[in-house]
Amino acid sequence: MTWDKLEKTCQTCRKCSLSDSRNNTVFGIGNRTAEILFIGEAPGEQEDLRGEPFVGRAGKLLDNMLSVIDLNRSNIYISNIIKCRPPSNRDPLHVEQDACIAYLYEQIALLQPKIIVCLGRIAAQKIIDKNFKISKEHGHWYECFDVPTMALYHPAALLRDPRRKPDTFLDLKELQRKIQEICERTYL
């Protein structure tokens, strides 16, 4: 498999009914040789219109969160659990996640990240543990695909409840510590 082949296959995917209502698939963005992979939930309205992950308000906050620890869209890769927008931004159904997750697994196989960061409960429950409790287990390290993996609060959750921002700042600093410990590149 190659990145280009995978992206083309994903763009014309009809594996679930979200393909009927999408404007664009949202494959992923960033550096295809990155050491750090961020995984969100699903595209929202803006993402569906642009074909790019995290371009709405939550995306702006994500960019700010990344900049706290000297990351940006050119030194990480960003993808989602599912690649098409669920109607009215509802949670993706299990059947939709199961239909789509193979694309993310292929992305992980191509990227071979050294660190994975799940954004929010839906991504953490699919990648880390189906019973993952985001309020208790954010910022902790787990091993997924043989790679250290942690979850942060989803930026949309931080917009809804800014009282969670101090915890997220500490989680970002812990992520930065891990990056300095195991990544080969320098992020300054």
Residues of this chain that bind ligand URA (CB under 6 A):
26, 40-44, 47, 53-54, 58, 80, 119, 156
| φ, ψ of residue 7 in degrees (nearest 5) | -65, -40
Query: What does the block give as tokens for 156?
Result: 């949309």
Handedness of CA 134, 28, 50, 5 (dihedral sign): negative
Residue 119: CB minimum distance to ligand URA, A = 6
Neighbours of 77 (CB within 10 A): 23
The token pair at 121 is 């409960």
Complex with ligand URA: residue 118 or 188, whichever CB lies closer: 118
The bridge status of strand 147-152 relative to strand 142-144 is antiparallel
Q: How far is the CB of 115 from ligand URA (least distance, A)?
A: 18
Cβ within 8 Å of residue 158, ≥6 positions away: 61, 164, 165, 168
Give the residue with the Cβ less far from ligand URA, 35 or 41: 41
CB of 188 to ligand URA, least distance (A): 27
User: CB-wise, 46 or 176, nearer to ligand URA?
Assistant: 46
Least Å from the CB of residue 39 to ligand URA: 8
SS3 assignment, position 176: helix
In the bound complex, what is the minimum distance in angstroms from residue 96's beta carbon to ligand URA?
14
Task: Say if CB 66 and CB 72 are below 8 A apart.
Answer: yes
Q: Are 125 and 82 in contact (CB under 8 A)?
A: no
Residue number of the CB atom closest to ligand URA? 40
Residue 30 or 43: the one with the smaller Cβ distance to ligand URA is 43
Nearer to ligand URA, 119 or 179 (CB): 119
